[in-house]
A and B are shown apart, each in its own frame.
Chain A
Amino acid sequence: MAVARPGGTPAVKPSPLGESLISIDRVGKTYANGTIALEDISFDVRDGEFVSLVGPSGCGKSTLLRMVAGLGPITSGTMLVEGLSPKAARQEKADTAFVFQDANLMPWRTVMGNVELPLELRGMEKIARRAQAAEALSMVGLGDVQKSYPRELSGGMRMRVSLARALAAHPRLLLMDEPFGALDEITRQRLNGELLRLCALANWTCVFVTHNVFEAVYLSTRILVMSARPGRIIAEVAVPLPHPRVPEIRTDPEFTRIVREVVSLLGSATDAHEED
C-alpha cells in the first residue's frame, strides 16, 4: 500500500518506547483580553498512538489542537512537534494534517479539486497530484465522485472528502477536531470504523478532540480528560482494548466500564467548575 510508511507494519499499536511525536510541557494560553483558556497542560503523544481529548464545551481542547497545528500562538510553556516548534514543524516537515469540525471544502471546486489542494499548494505537478489525490479518494470509498461538487454530496460524504484531503499529502500526524460531530449516529459509527482502518493502514498518529465519550473509547489507545475553562488535564485513562476494533466491542463490559470511568471524571470536571 503506497501510503504505509516504509518499514512500518500495519496494525502496530504503540510500544511504550515509541518515539515522542508531540511534547507538551506546561503549556498555557491566555488571550489578549486576559481570559485564560488553557493552564499548565503537559502530555506527550508517541508515534502510533491514538489519543483523544475529552472535555466539556469551551474547555479549550480545540484551541489546544490548533496550537499543535501551529495555528495559534502559545503564550506560556513549550510545545514541540517532531522536535520543532509547531509552526516550524508545519512549515518544514509538513507532516501534519488537520481535519476540522465541518468538512471545510471549497464549494467552487470539485471533489478532486478539493482533495488535491494540499499537493497543489506544495507545487506538485498536475498528473502526479491527481493520481495521489485519486488514491486518497478511493481509500475513503469515494473514487467515483471526483467530478462532483460539494453541494451535491451528503454530510457524511463531505466529511470523507475532507479526510481524503488530509490523507492525500501522506501525513504522519493527524489532528482531528470533532470531525464527526455534525453527523448522524450511524454515519458517525461507520466513519469511526473507517478511520481506524485507515490509521492502521497508514500508521498514523492521531490526536482526536471530541465530547462523545463512546467515540473516544472506541477509537483511542489513551484518553485525556480536561476540565472546564481554564482547561487543565485532570485525568488520563488508558484504553487497553484490543486492535483492530470490532463494532461489537461497544457492548463489551470492559468498554462500558471505561466509558463510565470517563463519564464520571467528566462529571466531576463540570461540577468542579460549577462550584467556582
Chain B
Amino acid sequence: MRSAGPPILVFVVLIAVWQAACRLLEIPRFLLPAPTDVVEAWIENRESLLGALVSTFLSALIGFGAAIVVGMSIALAMSQSKLLERSIFPYAVLLQTIPIVAIAPLIVIWFGAGMPAVVVIAFLISLFPIITNTTAGLVSTDHNLVAMFELYNASWWQRMVKLKFPAALPYIMTGLRISSGLAVIGAIVGEFIAGIGGLRGGIGYVITSAAAQIKMPYLFAAALTSSILGIAIFILVSFVSTRFLRHWHESAIRREL
C-alpha cells in the first residue's frame, strides 16, 4: 500500500486546486463544474448512473468474451500455417481500421439497435489485439522446447496444450489487457452511435443526454463513472494475468534488487 500513497496525494492536491480555482475564479458551472458540483450530481443521480454502469458493463463483458473466443480461434488457425496467416491477416487489419461510426447504421439494421448493436461494436473494437497478440505468442515458442517435445513423440494436441499455449500466456495476457479497455470504450461509443435511450441506454446514453441538456456536473459524473468502469476492468484483467504468470514470467515477478 506504500505504492498507493504518492498517487493519492497527487489526486488530493489536484482536487483541491480544481475546487479552489472554480470558486475563486468564479468559473461558470457549464464550463467547468467544481468537484463538489460533480459529487452532488453523482449522488443525486446515483440510481440512473449505477443502472447505466451495469448496462454498459454487461455489453462490454459480452463483447469482450466474444472477442476472446473468436480472436483466439482465429489466432490458433493463423499459427498453424503461414499460408493461413497471410490470407487472414489483411482482413484482421481491415477490421482494425474500419471507422465504426461509418458502419454503425449497418450494424443497427443487422443486429438491432440497443444492446445487440452495442455488443457487436464492443466486439469489433476489441478483437484485433487479441488476434495479433495471441498469434505472436503461439508462433514464438522456444524452438529447443519444441525439439524436446518432438523428442518425446508428443502429439499435436499435447504440444498445443502443454507447450504452445502456456508459453504464449504472457503475450495473450497483454492482448487481453489492451482489449478489455477497448471493449469498454467500444461499448460506450456504441451507445453513442447505435444505442437506445432510457434506462437501458448505458453510460454512453447518459453522456449524450447530459451533454444535450448542458448538465455539466452530470456529464462529468457520468464520465467519472465510465473511468471507474475502465479502471475496474483493467485491474481485474491484471489480477488474472498476475495469477497466471507470477511463478515464472519476468513481468509478474517481484524481485528484490
Contact = CB atoms under 8 A, between A and B. Distances in A.
Interface in B239-257: 247-249, 253
A131 interface: no
B227 interface: no
A76 to B, nearest CB: 22
Interface stretch (B13-21, B130-138, B142-150, B230-238): B142-150
Contacts of B142: 104
B30 interface: no
A69 B248 contact: no
A100 B144 contact: yes
B116 interface: no
B148 A100 contact: yes
B91 interface: no
A169 B247 CA distance: 26
B151 A104 contact: no
Interface in B110-153: 142, 144-145, 147-153
B154 interface: yes
Given A104-B145, A106-B163, A98 B248 contact: no
Contact of B248 (A71, A100, A117, A150): A150
A149 interface: yes
A21 interface: no
Contacts of B163: 106
A197 interface: no
Nearest to A113: B162
A66 B253 CA distance: 35
Interface in A87-143: 90-91, 94, 96, 98, 100, 102, 104, 106-109, 117-118, 120-122
Interface in B150-175: 150-154, 158, 162-163, 166-167, 169
Nearest to A165: B148
A151 interface: yes
Nearest to B248: A107
Nearest to B166: A108
Nearest to B250: A151
Contact of B151 (A98, A102, A108, A120): A98
A14 B107 CA distance: 77
| Chain B interface residue number, banded | 20 to 34
A117 B247 contact: no
A151 B253 CA distance: 10
Interface in B73-115: none
A104 B144 contact: yes
A122 B247 CA distance: 26
B249 A71 contact: no
B153 A94 contact: yes
B31 to A, nearest CB: 53
A118 B247 contact: no
A117 B144 contact: no
B152 A121 contact: yes
A169 B151 CA distance: 12
Contacts of A118: 152
A11 B247 CA distance: 41
Nearest to A110: B247
A106 B151 contact: no
A26 B158 CA distance: 36
Contacts of A149: 247-248
Contacts of A94: 152-153
**Interface centre among A69, A91, A94, A118, by most B CB within 10 Å?**
A118
A149 B246 CA distance: 11
A55 to B, nearest CB: 21
Given A117-B152, A149-B247, A151-B253, A71 B147 contact: yes
Nearest to A72: B147
Contacts of A71: 147, 150-151
Contacts of A96: 151
A189 B144 CA distance: 25
29 contacts: A69-B151, A71-B150, A71-B151, A91-B153, A94-B153, A98-B148, A98-B151, A100-B144, A104-B144, A104-B148, A106-B163, A106-B166, A106-B167, A107-B248, A107-B249, A108-B166, A108-B169, A108-B247, A117-B162, A120-B162, A121-B149, A121-B152, A121-B154, A121-B158, A121-B162, A122-B153, A149-B247, A151-B247, A151-B248
Closest 7 CB pairs of A and B: A107-B248, A121-B152, A108-B166, A118-B152, A108-B248, A149-B247, A121-B154
Given A69-B151, A91-B153, 7 more contacts: A66-B147, A100-B147, A107-B248, A117-B152, A121-B153, A121-B154, A121-B162
Interface of A: 66, 69-71, 90-91, 94, 96, 98, 100, 102, 104, 106-109, 117-118, 120-122, 149-151, 169
Interface of B: 142, 144-145, 147-154, 158, 162-163, 166-167, 169, 247-249, 253
